Structure 1
Amino acid sequence: MADYDYDLFVIGAGSGGVRASRVAAAHGAKVAVAEEHRVGGTCVIRGCVPKKMLVYGAHFAEDVMDAARFGWHIKECKFDWPVLRDNVAADVTRIEGLYTQTLENNKVEIFHERATVSGPNEVTLASGRTISAGKILIATGAWPAIPPVEGREHGITSNEVFGLDKLPERIVIAGGGYIANEFAGIFHEFGSKVTLVNRSDKILRHYDTQIRDRLLQISTMKGIEFLFHNEFTKVEKVDGKLRIHMSSHDPIEADILLFAIGRVPHTKGLGLESAGVEIDKNGAVVVDDVNRTTCPSIFAVGDVTNRVQLTPVAIREGQAFADTFFGNKPTKVDYSCIPSAVFSHPPLAGVGLTESQARNTLGSVKIFTSDFRPMKNVLAGRNERALYKLVVNGDTDVVVGVHMIGPDAPEILQAAAIAVKAKLKKSQFDEVVALHPSMAEELVLMK
């Protein structure tokens, strides 16, 4: 590799790219990374990290409302969007600095500009400089999809939503996935009138049916409006407001239209064709089980491969790539049993097979559920019910799926995912003494 400027050149300093860069460098490789936006990528800069901070901020709306039932009397309650927005932005900048520091501490050179592939072992920077590398890693992530509707330029995406000048009185959110439902909950708690528009009649289609139906029920009860079987036909700006036309509904007006219909691999204009890298019909980089593309010297990890669009998966892929090709430790990522969550209001989470998946693939299935009002909701006079669900292989007694919706569901699910990954049996759940009083104890009390 002495004939190249670098042993490894990474395009994209998001979660996967940063992990691959620093681990490869720690293994002794000479590494450089190019990032055209900000170090940290989608998750840190414009995704899960700032969004979770907004989720925390939104929860205070209900906590303050419930406080009186717990003896707390709050005379004046006012939400100040710029304060939360600016504090979130400041913390994002702090975390970006930590990511940058991590790369620098591992002697990874950072180019703060766009890089494109110009050959099997060559990249070209926006400044015009060409750089050679023994291996090139594509870690450019994914970008919000925008529908080809007239007037789409009047809408925004999750990239821009964190920097709004003021809270919208009325917001229309396009989509039915986790991003759409999370922001629907956030803006509703902040006091906006929220309308969620989806082209089908299902939200969160990858999650267990009972769990997602419970979220729909609770969200509707709170006042979030759902318009199903609708597609946008035109978006107009009239007197400073948006008039949104749909296929099966009268036009509605809003201050903000948020497109949250999914994310597409960020490969456009990267020059991958110059090196013979195959791209699938969705724009994703095609890779094998060791993250190698159809060009032997070029690899890809993270959302740009469109395998599993989750930050922890991108990190695992980056680690596996670096260990395999620079650490003499061949590693492959196990994509089975990946836990995931939706930070809605209330949050939901799941791991393993849903009930429908289990019934389609297993010979015998047993379902155990616990449908209850969390103690906090009871005292607060809040009627929201939590729902926990175990999916069990009826032939082996192995718990093959855990799904839940309710307060702190993602925090509880992480530990439950270990049990599913370890293929523990329902009888072993039953043998565990309950931790009382807690919501999590319901996992070991289902009969």
Structure 2
Amino acid sequence: MKPVSETKQYDVAIIGAGPAGLAAAHQLHDAGKQVVVIEKYLWGGTCPNYGCDPKKILLGAVEAKESTEFLSGSGIDGQVNINWPDLMAHKNQYTKGISTGTEQSLTASDIDHVAGEATFIDEQTAIINQGGKETVTVSATDWIIAVGQRPANLSFPGSELTVDSEEFLSLPELPDEVVIIGGGFVAIEFASIAAAAGAKVSLVVRGDRLLKSFDETMVDSLMDQLDDRGVQMYFGTEVTEIASTDNGLEATLSFGNTLSAGLIVRAAGRVGNHDTLDLDKAHVQFSEKGVLVDQHLRTSNAHIYAVGDVANSPVPKITPLASFESKHAANEILGQSQPITYPAVPVVVYGTPKLAQTGVTTETASQDGYTVHDLDISSWYTSYRTGEPAARVKTVLNQDGQLVGASVLSSHADELINYLTSAINQGLTKETVSKQLYAYPSVASDLTYFF
């Protein structure tokens, strides 16, 4: 690591070495700014170390297993089982070099970086505590806060016996019975993975449905598919207590029943990591929803920006948007000041099957006079050839026939939603799409039928 003096002045200091912080660091460094990156945990951040990347590696095995099962009796014989220890070893082979490799990349790029926990002491200065052994003082003209979020804690008796998403993604063995608390992205994805790997999965949801920001009929279909895969769902229910037993754990539910489990996962929301930064001393305002930012991603301190999951910007908290916002904040620091505008954003729940949406939602469409096309594509060639049991697409068109929104339920949803997002961002209509040539047969070759 390039040495950093005990007190040093920078043009820009960035707290958080995830995709957002790193994108801004390289952009600003390449523009000639003196930059320092501060990270208290793993270089590279949540996504590649213990988030979306390792999760998708586990899902890769699930997809292979499901593809085989879809075609059972249609040309495929035999049974495929997931070997959890081998799968975890495969995941670990990928993640083990992320943090070291990221730090080495910063060194190779001649970008200063400090390992430790940052706390502000005034409007432009922070103390970096390096494990209690020593501290470094960093002062900067501008700051970018990109510290992300962490799983929310639970407060009932025995809640300390639960594990979070990072621990789930590093399990050396998967127990036979798994209870997951939550009804959002992470809960659905982990339930899908655990069930496919052979566990008996119970999903405890406080609300009356899953994934409230998604199309309700799509979610209902996803719930049917989860049910077919053996996931037991309890709605309007909370875990009120967890106790250790001779056989593992026992969760008491709010209506009195109990669930036995070898593992209980808390996936009931996330909270921002800004609460350790002493933001009051930097005159930065925040709420329980994150650091308050304006349309330029500036905080109440005009020289401090917040991006990604920790900012209260009105967009989904996903990695691509974090990087998108960080580049905008970097442009602001470089003097290219303008309000941020967001393109259509593809959001995917990597369940079984996958659920994705982008642009105008179907719920909003009916209020704004848009046209919604609802298509069951389970019998279409793309689904038929893979044996997929449930596939559906809803598209939203404006008065000019342009695609402005879409929802997809399919094992190919993550691929199809990207094509639909590009169509939205380009303002395409059926006529303009029909003039394009796509490889046939493929997911993309179905595009004209969605208008």
Cα distance between partner residues in 2 of 1:142 and 1:446: 36
Mapped to 2, the partners of 1:167 and 1:443 lie a distance apart of 40
Does 1:80 pair with 2:83?
A: yes
Cα separation, 1, equivalents of 2:101 and 2:87: 21
Instruction: Select which of 108, 116, 120 maps to 1:117.
Output: 120
1:17 to 21, 29, 44: 21
Query: Distance in 2 between the 1:77 and 1:392 partners?
Result: 42
> Which aligned pairs between 1:137-216 and structure 2 lie closer than 5 A?
137-216=144-223
Equivalent-residue separation in structure 1 for 2:85 and 2:15 (angstroms)? 34
Give the Cα separation in 1 of the matches to 2:306 and 2:384.
49
Conservation of the 8 A alpha-carbon contact between 2:62 and 2:197:
yes
2:394 to 378, 389, 392: 389
Distance change >3 Å, CA 331–CA 103, structure 1 → 2: farther
Which aligned pairs between 1:16-415 and structure 2 lie closer than 5 A?
A: 16-66=20-70, 69=73, 71=75, 78-126=81-129, 127-248=134-255, 250-282=257-289, 284-307=290-313, 308=315, 309-326=317-334, 328-330=335-337, 332-360=339-367, 362-373=368-379, 375=381, 378=384, 382=387, 384-393=389-398, 395-415=399-419
Secondary structure, aligned partner of 1:306: coil
Is the Cα–Cα contact under 8 Å of residues 383 and 391 in structure 2 kept in the other structure? no
**Aligned partner of residue 121 in structure 2, secondary structure:** strand
1:5 maps to a residue whose letter is Q
Distance 1:140 1:446 in 2: 39
Deviation, structure 1 residue 125: 1.2
Which AA in structure 2 matches 1:49? Answer: D
- Distance (whole Å) between structure 2 residues aligned to residue 321 and residue 105 of structure 1: 24
With the length of structure 2 as denominator, give the TM-score of the two structures: 0.91
Deviations 1:235-290 (A, max 9, x none): 111114111111135111111111111111111221111121101133x1111122
Distance 2:63 2:163 in 1: 24
Deviation per CA, 1:323-360: give whole Å up to 9, x if none: 2213x433543235211111111112111112211112
Instruction: Count the aligned residue pairs.
Output: 439
- Cα deviation digits, residues 13-42 of structure 1 (max 9, x gap): 111111111111111111111111111111
Q: CA deviation at 1:205?
A: 1.1
Percent identity, aligned pairs only, is 29
Contact kept? 1:172, 1:194, Cα under 8 Å: yes
Q: Is residue 382–residue 443 contact of structure 2 (8 Å, CA) maintained in 1?
A: no
- Root-mean-square deviation (CA, aligned residues, Å) is 2.3
Closer/same/farther in 2, CA of residues 257 and 443 from structure 1, 3 Å limit: same
- Label 1:332 to 1:103 Cα distance change in 2 as closer, same or farther (>3 A): farther
Q: Which runs of 5+ in 2 are unaligned?
A: 1-6
Q: Which of 46-55 and 413-422 deviates more?
A: 413-422
- The structure-2 alpha-carbon separation of the partners of 1:253 and 1:431, relative to structure 1 and needing over 3 Å to count, comes to same
3-state SS, counterpart of residue 28 of structure 1: coil
Distance in 2 (CA, whole Å) between partners of 1:372 and 1:67 is 14
Q: Per the alignment, in what secondary structure is the counterpart of residue 89 of structure 1? A: helix
SS of equivalent residue, structure 1 residue 235: strand
Other structure's SS at 1:337 match: coil
Deviations 1:145-184 (A, max 9, x none): 1222111100011121111131111111111111111111
1:225–1:20 CA distance, 2 compared to 1 (3 A) = same
TM-score by length of 1: 0.91
- Verify the 8 A CA contact 1:265 1:306 in the aligned structure 2: no
